[in-house]
């Protein structure tokens, strides 16, 4: 993705990008940055950042999944001409509108950027991105020219502290090459 995944700005969280129009009545095609497209259907308003850097609030009139994008209709955008002006802009929601999570559950934007250390104190790098796999997520940790793939499982991820912006991992046998850390 070209935008920083889940960028925060003024208490707003980016959840997608308007990539094109759909039809002639102002529908927008949105690439979702969210793990689940359900985040779009739970919102009453989206915020769009204009070319001047100002945020404009739009009421959502319809949201529907369509192939690999989300189709969105916004109040006040009723023609292809109006919709085309929004192509390339990001869609934001208020962070406060996110659903609360259970203990030991985190939103991706809380994980990305964390400093990662082993339980013996070795610095591995920062979480650069998260890969979804069938069984568990995988954290991609980068430190200069090194990249580590850490499975997001309880046996490996010992502690996440979003306040201190750190993650402690326990390297299971075979997770790293001998002498790598």
Kindly state whether residues 12 and 93 are assigned to the same domain: yes
If DSSP codes are grouped into helix, strand and coil, which group holds residue 94? strand
Q: Tell me whether residue 178 is in a domain.
A: no
Q: Which of the listed residues 48, 71, 97 is the one where a domain comes to its end?
A: 97
| CA pair distance 181, 176, nearest whole angstrom | 7
Q: What's the whole-number mean pLDDT along residues 152-162? A: 95
| CA pair distance 66, 174, nearest whole angstrom | 41
Q: Alpha carbon 17 to chain centroid distance? A: 11
Range of the domain at 115: 108-169
Mean pLDDT taken over the chain: 88
4 has pLDDT over 60: no
| CA pair distance 174, 178, nearest whole angstrom | 8
pLDDT band, residue 180 (cuts 50/70/90): low
If DSSP codes are grouped into helix, strand and coil, which group holds residue 82? helix
Q: Tell me whether residue 180 is in a domain.
A: no
- Higher local confidence (pLDDT), 34 or 162: 162
Task: Decide: 109 and 11 in contact? Cβ < 8 Å.
Answer: no
| CA pair distance 33, 109, nearest whole angstrom | 10
91-105, 125-139, 151-165, range with the lowest pLDDT: 91-105
| CA pair distance 51, 104, nearest whole angstrom | 38
């Amino acid at each position: 993705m070209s935008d920083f995944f889940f960028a925060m700005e003024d208490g707003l969280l980016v959840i997608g990008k308007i990539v094109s129009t759909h039809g002639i009545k102002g529908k927008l095609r949105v690439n979702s940055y969210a793990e689940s497209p359900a985040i779009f259907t739970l919102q009453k308003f989206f915020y769009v950042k204009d070319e001047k850097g100002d945020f404009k609030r739009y009421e959502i009139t319809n949201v529907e999944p369509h192939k690999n994008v989300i189709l969105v209709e916004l109040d006040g955008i009723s023609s292809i001409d109006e919709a085309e002006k929004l192509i390339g802009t990001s869609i934001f929601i208020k962070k406060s509108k996110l659903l609360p999570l259970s203990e030991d559950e985190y939103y991706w934007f809380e994980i990305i950027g964390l400093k990662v250390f082993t339980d013996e104190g070795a610095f591995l790098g920062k979480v650069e991105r998260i890969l979804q796999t069938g069984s568990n997520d995988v954290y991609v940790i980068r430190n200069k020219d090194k990249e580590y793939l850490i499975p997001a499982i309880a046996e490996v991820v010992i502690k996440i502290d979003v306040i201190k912006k750190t993650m402690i991992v326990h390297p299971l046998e075979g997770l790293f090459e001998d002498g790598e850390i």
